[in-house]
Amino acid sequence: MRAVIVEAHGGPEVLRLAEHDSPQPGPGQLLVDVTTVGVNFMDIYQREGRPPYAGDVPFVLGSEGAGTVAAVGPDAQGVRQGDRVAWTGISGCYAEQVIIPADRAVPVPDEIDLETAGAVMLQGMTAHYLVTDTYPVAEGDPVVVHAAAGGVGLLLTQMVKMRGGVVVATTSTLQKAELARAAGADHVASYDDFGIVVREVTGGEGAAVVYDGVGQATFDASLAALRARGCMVLYGGASGPVPPVDPQRLQTGGSLFLTRPTLVHYIADVEELRWRAGEVFDWIAKGELDVRIGGTYPLADAARAQEDLAGRRTTGKLLLLPGI
């Protein structure tokens, strides 16, 4: 089987498509034929060796996908050969086959195709935990969603609207602004003027929460856009990592809250994983949540997919399809 290997940390040029032996599932494990691989920022950080994502080289990149169970290891409970499953947080997914623990495999309902399932495991469950648990959005809450035409952003915008929030979205282009509006954003602003828009929309009060996956470029203005006791949710750093923050800024900003969440702690056990994925799948099946696949690439073009993502040229979710 073929897999994309990082031979040394570095730029997109370090990715290499190579032949591997087909892995064998051990106790409690599944061998899966991969249909869909999710492309994520984390893959870029791991390729670069950026802390805290750096691992030992060489390794097969990728952590998310969906496919069909090809073989079931001893003692793997509740899953059979031929079942359709999806996952996130599993190493070595830029590949035609992957080994996953049976208790991290999420069954894919019949109504959901494998491309869609693989597209929402990381970004869909992230948007879900951000609006339900990190800061539970309430009816009427003014909410800033940065990079609203991106993979997380489009899903987050829709989920905030499902809970009755008022979305002030940011995007860098008119085309992306249109996508954010179509996803339900009430107001779309640039990164330079979103703070002004928030003040206008809230009568000067400020946002209840800012969901910020852009990081370095937006952090200061995001903090300044919050109302007293507002919540700064820094969930990523597409523009770069945020430098250390003096806690006194939270006091002077209005007794603010700051959190830096990550998905793994919100799908900590199999019950939470399956509940969260199940809600996302349910909304898709009912037509309440639209999933935009912004680009598909063969495995051999993994480097191009990562360049497009990092270069702000994409909208929605990017997928590698090992079968094309």
Ligand X SMILES: NC(=O)c1ccc[n+]([C@@H]2O[C@H](COP(=O)([O-])OP(=O)(O)OC[C@H]3O[C@@H](n4cnc5c(N)ncnc54)[C@H](OP(=O)(O)O)[C@@H]3O)[C@@H](O)[C@H]2O)c1
Binding site for ligand X (CB under 6 A): 40-42, 122-123, 126, 147, 149-153, 171-172, 176, 213-214, 217, 235-239, 261-263, 309-310, 312, 314
Residue closer to ligand X by CB (options 108, 242) is 242
Give CA–CA dist 14/316, Å, rounded: 25
Give CA–CA dist 40/110, Å, rounded: 25
Query: What are 91's two structure tokens?
Result: 């190493």
Give the nearest distance from C-beta 20 to ligand X in angstroms: 26
Query: Minimal CB distance to ligand X: which residue?
Result: 150
Which amino acid, one-letter code, is at 56? Answer: D
Residue closer to ligand X by CB (options 14, 147) is 147
Give the nearest distance from C-beta 312 to ligand X in angstroms: 4
Q: Beta strands of the chain (E only): which ranges?
A: 2-6, 15-19, 29-39, 59-60, 64-72, 84-88, 97-101, 106-107, 142-145, 166-170, 187-189, 207-212, 226-234, 257-259, 293-297, 317-320
Sign, CA dihedral 88-115-319-126, equals negative
Give the nearest distance from C-beta 321 to ligand X in angstroms: 17
Residue closer to ligand X by CB (options 1, 258) is 258
Give the nearest distance from C-beta 71 to ligand X in angstroms: 30
Give the nearest distance from C-beta 33 to ligand X in angstroms: 25
Residue closer to ligand X by CB (options 5, 318) is 318
Query: What are 189's two structure tokens?
Result: 């602003």
Residue closer to ligand X by CB (options 64, 141) is 64
